[in-house]
Structures are given as C-alpha cells and as structure tokens.
Structure 1
Amino acid sequence: MAVQKPRGLQKEQPVLWLGMVGFAPAQRKSIEAAVARAAGSAQWRVCPFGDADGWWVNGAKCSITEGGRLKVAPGLPTEHTLRLELPEVDRPLAFAEPVAPANLEALCVFDPGAEAAIHATLGRFEKWLQPVRVRFALGAMLLARDTEDRRGTYHLSHRSTLLAVVDFQQGMAAIAPKAQPPDLWEATWEKRPSAAGLPPQGFKSSTITELAWTYVRRTDRDMLPPRYRTEKIYYRHVPRVPMRQLRDSQLMLLRELSAQPGTLQSLFQRTAVPLPQLAHDLACLYYAGSVTTSPETIEPGNDGNSMGLWPESVASTGGGDRSRQDLTAPAILERRPRPTPSTDG
C-alpha cells in the first residue's frame, strides 16, 4: 500500500553554512552581500569557520609551511592564523584569487570580486553537499509524519526507483547514493514487512536521530517545543549524533546544563548566547535526546564525561527513574538504534 507524503508538508531549502577566513573587512562584507543574493537549491549563510559546511579561503593570505600544511594569515582583528592539513579537510574548500603559493593545488578557485563567480562556486558546493540536502529532506518528512505512521518499515520510491528505506523499529534509515532532494520530496511511502528493513547494498545508513538533527539544524522553522521556553531544562544524556556535528555554543550549553539545570532565560544569562541561537541550539539538542523538562527521566551518572565533552570537574545533574518514559522527548527517537557507521549532518 502506497502512502503519500504527509499532508501540509512544504518543500524547503536547507540552510547551508559558509565559513570564510583571511578576508579583509570590506572584502568580506562584499562577499557576504553577494552570498545573501544567491538563488540556488539552498540558503547560504556565513557562520564561524569551524561550524561551516564549506570553506572559502583568501588565496592571497595563504602559504605552505615546511611540513606541508596550509597556513592562512588572518584577515580580521578577531581571527587567528589558520593551519590546515589539506588531505584531512572533510568539506568543500575554495580559494579566492589570486592564490599566492605557486605549489598549492587548488581544485576550486573563484574571483571574489565577481558576483557571478561567487554564485557559481556556491552552486558547486551545493552539488558536493548533495548528501546533506538529501538527509535534510528525509529528516523533514520523518518529523512531519503522524504518530501512527511512525511504526514499521517503509520504502520510499519515485518513478519506480527505490530512494530510501526507513525502519522505525530499529531507528534507522538508508538512502540511495544517487538520490536527489526533488525526487525525495515527491516520493511515495510504501509500508513493508519488517524483513524489508535491510537496505540494498550501497545505500548510506543513518540513524533517524541524525536525520532529525540534520533537518532541525538547517531549517528556519521554530522547532523548539513551547514548554522549553518557560519550564526548567535538564541535561539528559550525551547527544545521539556524532560529536563533530555539535557547535561550540551547543557544547557550552550542554556543559552548563550538566552542571545545573535552568530556564531559557537563565541559560541566556549564564552563556550570553543570543536568545534566537540559544533556542535553535536547544531544539537541536531536544531532537538529539539530550535535554528534557522532566527531571525524573534523567539518566543516572550520565554527565557526558565518558564522551570527553568537558573536564571531569563538571558535575552531573544525576538522579531519576530510568524506567519511566520521557514524555518530553520526540517519540520517534526513543528507540535505541543498532550500531551503524555515522554520517555528517
């Protein structure tokens, strides 16, 4: 039986984050304005360098050290000299011309003074970030489904092509390597026997939690439940997403909550993180299962130290009856998934 996409589901463009380094203030301002005017398959915004999906580096500020590292001199008073091991870079990287080191093999270069070149480079990045855009679309559909449809196994197909397999029982999903976001948005959902939850070879696996995280982190919608704006918030357990996907502000928030619970307003006072960003960070952590407004559901002794999130001196909130269901957590994320290789989100 084919199940159509959830009613009222609107196609969205994900927010993709761009980090820049080595650009002088006036040049950076000009580039940011051109980025804001780009029209493509994503919304691009500039963010701190370490949190970005893709990096732009001022080639004129680059040099190669004796050890073969890329060294980038700061362009802003607040920046520090950056050193990169190019073979270890795990995201799209482009260099603004001119590129100073003659021995630097830059795979992607652009003219920072030409808006068309800036937009073309963003377009290349969007193609490279196709897996992120696909996971965003699937995450949106998972969260939009009615509670009764969040059970069992589903195959998502478009024009007779299988695009994804979703196994709610195991908390897992797998996506075809050539799946495209437009096709996924139009896919039909067919409920299948539980034995059909094993994806075909070559499909890329993610947990449902990671897909939800990818969507919440990249949507402009307010995904924070209203009670989190008024009630006291508690640390529950380590986020069920790869640690490299957490922003510094989210790590700081987890550290604060593991030491002492607080309301949204008190967390704002303790962290000085702007309220809109604080609410967005909390929404991400909510869908990662890390925070709760029900103190009785806190997992005893789970303070994040086992994952190396912060120094051992940080206290745990502790306590609670683990047998009680956390009614403040997303229902589709409560099952403990089987181990799987993690993917970036």
Structure 2
Amino acid sequence: MHLPSLRMALVGFPDPGFPESLLRARSHPAWEAASLDDADALWVAGGSAHLEADSLVRVWNGEDKPAVVLHLHTLERPVTFTLPLADPRMQDVGQVDLQNPGQVEYALRRTEQSLRAVLLQLAMGQQIAERMQSLSAHTYHLTLKEKLVGVVSVPGRIGIDLGLGPDDLAEARWVARPAFANDIPKWFLPTSFAECLWLYAGRVETDLLPNRYRSAPLYFRCVPRVSQRLMQNVHYAVLSELATAPRTFAELQESIGLPRQELDAVLTALYFSGSITCNPERAARRGAVANRDAVTASELRNSMFPPAGPASGVPDATMPAPLEWRP
C-alpha cells in the first residue's frame, strides 16, 4: 500500500537542497518537504537557531523572511535540530547529523513513531476513499486474523488499534454491523471520518467532492469538526468568504487565487467536516448558532447517501457535521 507522503518543514536552512534529497530517499513511508503550516514534523537548522528564553527558540529564516519562533513546550509536532548547534544552551533538544546516514535513519524512524496516529489516519482515509461508494452500512468492524482492529461509524467516529501498522489496514476485512455496534475499545486511537479524509484529501488528488459542489453556490454551515491543528490559513480564507456571502467554486477560485486542484482538496476537507453546504436551507443563519451537531444520525447518512428517487426542489446537498470524537 502506497500512502501519501509525510511532510517535513525545513526551517532555517540557507540551502535546503541536501536535506530535501535525504527526505526524497525515504520511501516507506515517503517524505516530502513542505511549508511550516502544512508540515507534520520539523527539521530545524541548528546553526540558525538561538534560545531566546526557556523553551523559546528563534530561527533565522533568510534575509528577506521573518524569523520563525518556536515554543518547544507547546509545539504539537516532532522537531529535530540538525548539527552543528550554534547555541550551546540547546544541548537537550532532539538532534541529528545529516552527514551521518545512521543518525538520519534513526531520527526519521523516531519521528515516524511519533506520527503513528497520522500514518494510521492517512491509511484509514485511503481505505475509506477506495470504499466510499460501497459503504452502505451504519457501522463496520475491521478484523485482521479474526481480531478486531478497527471500528468505523459512517460517517462519524472511528477507532483504530494502535498496535496496527498502516499496511495492516489494507489487509483488514470490513464487516458490516448495525448502528448500535459502534463501541470503540478504550485502547484504540479515537479519530473520525472528517479527520481521516481531511488529512488524506489534502495530500492526493481525489474525486470525493460531489460534482454539485463545483457548480452550485456554496454556503457556510458551521465550523469544522476537526482538531484546530489541522486548520490552515486557506481553510479560514474559504470559510471567511462563504460566511460573507455564497460563492461558487469559480468565484472562490478567483477571489482566493488557488489552483483548481488545491481548492478542490480544501472544499473536500470542509465538506466531510460538515462546514459547507450547497443547500441554502441548511446554511448558517445570521444570529443563529452555527456550531452545532447534526440533529439526527439519519441526517448524517442521508447527506452522504441520499435516498434514490425523484429530486426535490431543494436537494439534500450537504455533509452535516459528524457526531465525532473531539478531545
């Protein structure tokens, strides 16, 4: 199974060519260089980093760019500093000598272990995307060698056995179960349809966004039901536009300036997190509380899998906010 790449921000490197070549050489999982906003982890040039205060590090990022300030105690992503370190006070940080292949291998493996949840979510997002058209049951139990390794409530909560490897999910058998069979063992990784597809759709070209969302006016419905760490400026920009007035795909593309494929990925993420709709009756009203859960479980399913039959005057054309786990 070929998963989408993990993303590494390269911070403070005058010439990122060499660290990028090390990342490209990694294949299982694959890595790619990314912006600081998009990254799952950080490599910081130790020669550009200086300790400003307790756990506060300032990183020179080029003559024409502002310095990057990292608060190591609150940073939610793995960070490794490359040798040599310019500031001797930073001896306790994670370090790697990029000239030493053994150290690079160890540092990447350690980072990948820290990102185990992200890898499992990407693997689950891939499996959901491949099965989307056939997910007709309310709940699925994923089994591997007769052992329960995952629980998927469509399209809400998901639990994944943390002892599982990303490749194992491709081998798991999906067994349809009734809606009430959705209990998730406490030792499973708790996540959701929205979070798995948010991560997955942002890294690969997919065809998960319904076609009507590329032609009909789009409306803001509610804030995304995902961890705030997943929100990026581009998601806020789209939601800000839609909170002001309905916009079509083409109008959003013109006002925000995103290439078609990137906007498609952003709208796919917002669709599965319940934030946008092309049904004006489900749009957020002025003065109303938009940050709400879906009214019923059937509303969730009817949005993804509308009942067959003649179309009504106003189509049921939204992906309501899933009843998902939130920390």
Partner of 2:298: none
Q: After superposition, what is the alpha-carbon deviation per residue over 1:192-223, rounded to whole angstroms, capped at 9, x for unaligned?
A: 45554222231222222222222222333343
Distance in 2 between the 1:115 and 1:220 partners?
33
Match of 2:136 among 133, 144, 150: 150
Match of 1:251 among 228, 236, 246: 236
Q: After superposition, what is the alpha-carbon deviation per residue over 1:254-313, rounded to whole angstroms, capped at 9, x for unaligned?
A: 111211222223222212233332222122112222222333331323789979xxxxxx
What TM-score results when the alignment is normalised by the length of structure 2? 0.81
- Which secondary structure does the structure 1 equivalent of 2:112 belong to? helix
What TM-score results when the alignment is normalised by the length of structure 1? 0.77
Q: Contact conserved, 1:286 with 1:329, CA < 8 A, in 2?
A: yes
Match of 1:329 among 282, 297, 318: 318
Task: Give the number of equivalent residue pairs.
Answer: 307
Counterparts of residues 1-345 of structure 1 (less than 5 Å): 11-24=1-14, 27-42=15-30, 44-75=31-62, 77-78=64-65, 80-112=66-98, 121-145=107-131, 149-168=135-154, 171-301=156-286, 327-330=316-319, 334=320, 336-337=322-323, 340-342=325-327
Distance in 1 between the 2:253 and 2:263 partners?
7
Q: Contact conserved, 1:157 with 1:188, CA < 8 A, in 2?
A: yes
Distance in 1 between the 2:182 and 2:51 partners?
49
- Which secondary structure does the structure 2 equivalent of 1:197 belong to? coil
Amino acid aligned to 2:198: W
Amino acid aligned to 2:169: L
Amino acid aligned to 2:52: T
Task: Report 1 or 2 for greater relative contact order, CA contacts < 8 Å, sequence distance ≥ 6.
Answer: 1
Partner of 1:7: none
Distance in 2 between the 1:329 and 1:114 partners?
52
Distance in 2 between the 1:272 and 1:117 partners?
41
Structure 1 residues 122 and 231: CA distance shift in structure 2, 3 A: farther
Distance in 2 between the 1:66 and 1:173 partners?
40
Structure 1 residues 17 and 201: CA distance shift in structure 2, 3 A: same
Partner of 2:308: none
Q: After superposition, what is the alpha-carbon deviation per residue over 1:91-137, rounded to whole angstroms, capped at 9, x for unaligned?
A: 11111211122231455323345678656644443332121111122
Structure 1 vs Structure 2 CA RMSD: 3.0
Partner of 1:311: none
Distance in 1 between the 2:195 and 2:87 partners?
39
- Which secondary structure does the structure 2 equivalent of 1:218 belong to? coil
Of residues 80-89 and 68-77 in structure 1, the stretch that sits farther from structure 2 once superposed is 68-77
Q: Contact conserved, 1:60 with 1:98, CA < 8 A, in 2?
A: yes
Q: After superposition, what is the alpha-carbon deviation per residue over 1:132-172, rounded to whole angstroms, capped at 9, x for unaligned?
A: 11112222323433556432332211123321122338x21
Q: Contact conserved, 2:222 with 2:291, CA < 8 A, in 1?
A: no
Of all paired residues, the percent bearing the same amino acid is: 28
Structure 1 residues 299 and 245: CA distance shift in structure 2, 3 A: same
Q: Contact conserved, 2:143 with 2:173, CA < 8 A, in 1?
A: yes
